[in-house]
Amino acid sequence: QQQVKQSPQSLIVQKGGISIINCAYENTAFDYFPWYQQFPGKGPALLIAIRPDVSEKKEGRFTISFNKSAKQFSLHIMDSQPGDSATYFCAAGAFNAGKSTFGDGTTLTVKP
Amino acid sequence: NAGVMQNPRHLVRRRGQEARLRCSPMKGHSHVYWYRQLPEEGLKFMVYLQKENIIDESGMPKERFSAEFPKEGPSILRIQQVVRGDSAAYFCASSPTGYLGETQYFGPGTRLLVL
């Protein structure tokens, strides 16, 4: 049973555009939702994370929107740059636990 | 402060051999997590260890896989009698506490290829 569903699988955006990646979760015990960025040959790196007590969190060009009733959250990358081209993973877990459940990833390509 | 280190970065094994993957957490981190990433898929949790203890091994296959994190030295993920389906990237992550809210720092991964 896949507990975190991520879409789209791949995304192509023009430089300066907005990239939007969506995730949905099933386990209502999840209360921590991080996004990771992974470049080829590297490990994932935490990009931004949110807890369900807020509906939005912004850090620079990256924004997480969270809809608790729909059990959905999304990553918005504003003014997308070629250097943002990477694979993005959403994840979910319990804040007081250690492990995360990951989505299958979205490969983002930002065209110059 | 060096990041999470994993070695080897690439490992080739023939079917039936053993694979040993090592993970040295960041300095001061006593919690280690192992994940497996199959091609075109996300990371799948395997096991969570604290020094000398396995905290959660709910993602570990029941056979051939084992993990340890001794008092001294790196954490080891051991795969016995490897099969082609074990070919994947194996990542470890470390954190200072066991709380997911504490940033988990990932290593660069070990890419295992089983021939």
Select from A7, A35, A99 the residue whose CB has the most chain B CBs within 10 Å, as the one to mutate to test that interface: A99
The predicted-structure confidence for B51-74, as pLDDT tens digits, reads as follows 889 999 999 999 999 999 999 999
Q: How many CB pairs under 8 A join A and B?
A: 71
* Residue A95: band (very low, low, confident or very high) from pLDDT cuts 50, 70, 90: confident
pLDDT at position B65, please?
Answer: 97
Considering only CA atoms, which of B32, B23, B11 is closest in space to residue B82?
B11
Residue A7: CA count within 13 A, CB half-sphere: 4
The predicted-structure confidence for A38-75, as pLDDT tens digits, reads as follows 998 889 999 999 988 899 999 999 999 999 999 999 99
Q: A99 and B93 in contact by Cβ < 8 A?
A: no
Measured in angstroms, the CA of A39 and the nearest CA of chain B are apart by 10
Helix (H, G, I), strand (E, B) or coil at B115: coil
Percent residues over pLDDT 90 in chain A: 77
The answer to whether residue B95 scores a pLDDT higher than 60 is: yes
Token pair, residue B41, equals: 């898929």
Contact of A100 with chain B, judged by CB distance below 8 Å, is answered with yes
Contact of A105 with chain B, judged by CB distance below 8 Å, is answered with yes
* Residue B102: band (very low, low, confident or very high) from pLDDT cuts 50, 70, 90: low
pLDDT at position B1, please?
Answer: 52
